[in-house]
Amino acid sequence: MADIVIKSVAKRFGSHTALHDIDLTIKDQEFMVLLGASGCGKTTLLRIIAGLETLSSGEVSIGGRRVDHLPPRERGIAMVFQNYAVFPHMTVFENIAFGLRMKKVSEADIKDKVTRAATLMHIDPYLERYSAQLSGGQRQRVAVARALAVEPSVLLMDEPLSNLDALLRLEMRAELKGILAESKTTTIYVTHDQVEAMSLADRISVMNGGRIVQAAPATTVYANPADRFVGGFIGNPPMNFLPAKRSGNEAEVAGYRLAAPAGGGSLELGIRPEDMDIAEDGLHGKVRVVEPLGPHKLVSVDVDGHLLRAVLPNEADVKSGAAVALAPRPGTVRWFEAESGKAVA
């Protein structure tokens, strides 16, 4: 069992608190993605789990064993970090073989495992080259192949595909997902790319300001964001938010009445751009801009001075300057407390 338990982990750099009391359990063989904007603490958390950074307080356990006082090599993990340390004096083959040699694997098995990992990362043509003769993206793939080759029970990766061009990144993402789904590896993967996060993760931990604001499967994070931050961070374009006037168990948003959760306090309506259709009655506004995007068009609407974005089919009849009403599809509206930004259950 290689579950990872993070208990009340905090990290301070001088007077700056990079992590506030993080509690998170990554289940055995789970693929967990840490997602968040630059500076939210993802790398710091991963480095603490790896043993490359000390924690200010809290505990880290792997497979039921406290590891926070152990050096990285005694934690039983493989890792791929941003400043991927590919050994310059070794060939690609020897780089990938490194961990296997440490484990005293037989030469025949080394050849087999190195070739398999290199093929997966599409670097098999370069096995005899030295890393100085490789591009940044190729070197990054060597680092990933080296980590995969040892078939680790725990794999920590920090933006391992960041140096690849868009197409290769897409391919490598699918390769990684394929191999890790078949392996028995517990993976923590750091990225700021929400598409990568959604595609790879069993669960995503969305981080903001040194805290985990939601840890849930991608579909939950997308459909039921825990707060306005998550709704605004996940989705491209992000969720729309509009202020609502509450009366009883109804709310009125830009002349449109909807059933709303009962209770006090101001509400905001959250609606995804792809969850609305043109209708007779709906959120009324004036079309500002229409942007054709290929498979669909993105329409920006002024609703009582607020921006509402809708993704509509190419055949939708919308013209810049015209009035439009957009009706949310059944079951897609989410409500947030205006003050705290928290989702209303």
| Residues of this chain that bind ligand ATP (CB under 6 A) | 13, 16, 18, 36, 38-44, 192
Q: How far is the CB of 284 from ligand ATP (least distance, A)?
A: 40
Find the residue with minimal CB distance to ligand ATP.
43
DSSP H helix total and E strand total for the chain? 8, 19
The smaller minimum CB distance to ligand ATP, of residues 162 and 224, is found at 162
Of 213 and 267, CB closest to ligand ATP = 213
Q: Give the integer Cα–Cα distance in Å for 289 and 286.
A: 9
Closer CB to ligand ATP, 92 or 206, in the complex: 206
CA–CA gap between residue 137 and residue 221 (Å, rounded): 30
Q: Based on CB atoms, which residue is closest to ligand ATP, 34 or 301?
A: 34
DSSP string, 1-12: ---EEEEEEEEE
Cα distance between the two ends of the chain = 35
Q: How far is the CB of 236 from ligand ATP (least distance, A)?
A: 18
Task: Indicate the residue among 40 and 155 with the shorter CB distance to ligand ATP.
Answer: 40
From the CB of 99, what's the least distance to ligand ATP, in Å? Answer: 25
4 versus 251: smaller Cβ distance to ligand ATP: 4
| Smallest separation (angstroms) from ligand ATP to the CB of 10 | 12
Of the candidates 246, 258, 249, 255, the residue with the CA atom closest to the CA atom of residue 334: 258
Contact 97, 150 (CB under 8 A): no
Q: Around Cβ 198, how many Cβ atoms within 10 Å?
A: 18
Q: Closest distance between ligand ATP and the C-beta of residue 170, in Å?
A: 20
- Rounded to a whole number of angstroms, the minimum distance from the CB of residue 42 to ligand ATP is 4
| Orientation of helix 107-120 relative to helix 92-102, angle to 10° | 130
Shortest reach from residue 192's CB to ligand ATP, in Å: 5
| Cβ-based neighbour number of residue 158 at 10 Å | 21
CA distance 185 to 151: 7
Secondary structure E strands in 175-305:
186-191, 203-208, 211-216, 240-247, 250-253, 256-259, 267-271, 276-292, 297-303
Question: Which one, 13 or 87, has the nearer CB to ligand ATP?
Answer: 13
